[in-house]
Amino acid sequence: MSDPLQAALKVAASGLSAQSTRLRIVSENLANAQSTGKTAGSDPFRRKTVSFATELDRSTGVETVRIAEVGHDVSAFMEEYDPSHPAADAKGMVKYPNVNMVVEMADMREANRSYEANLQVVKQARELIAMTVDLLRNS
């Protein structure tokens, strides 16, 4: 087994990377929440989802997190009657993305907190490594 502090850094770094990707996906969802299809009756932006998985890092022997898949939410699109809209179908219905702003904001807050927690682990581990080096230097 490798150094526990190095292992903690590896785990936290994988968490930072995963949450960074999650924040990017949430941002894409929010940015496209009101976009419609380009032509009449076409489908709009479909909400993206992120799935995580654990992965054994053989060099350190610790489990890290990774993005398993960036998928698409298969729930129905929201429809609104607006016959003057360029994306309206023959019945005057316009399809809007299946993005719920409340859900996205909650996901963003959770991802942000997870990112901050992993960043704190990195800071603490670096501090402990520095203290260990100082102790060894002064021995």
In the predicted structure, residue 68 carries a pLDDT above the cut 80: yes
pLDDT category at 119 given cuts 50, 70, 90 is very high
Residues 128, 5 contacting (CB under 8 angstroms):
yes
Give residue 55's pLDDT band: very low, low, confident or very high (50, 70, 90): very high
- Cα dihedral sign, 9-70-36-100: negative
Whole-structure pTM value = 0.86
Mean pLDDT of 31-37: 94
Is residue 1 pLDDT above 60, yes or no? no
pLDDT at 139 over 80: no
Task: Give the confidence band of 3 by pLDDT, cuts at 50, 70, 90.
Answer: confident
- Residues 51-69, mean pLDDT to the nearest whole number: 93
Q: Which helix (H) or strand (E) holds 54?
A: strand 48-57
Which tokens belong to 27? Answer: 């941002």
Question: What is the spatial distance between Cα 58 and Cα 47, in angstroms, rounded to a whole number?
Answer: 35
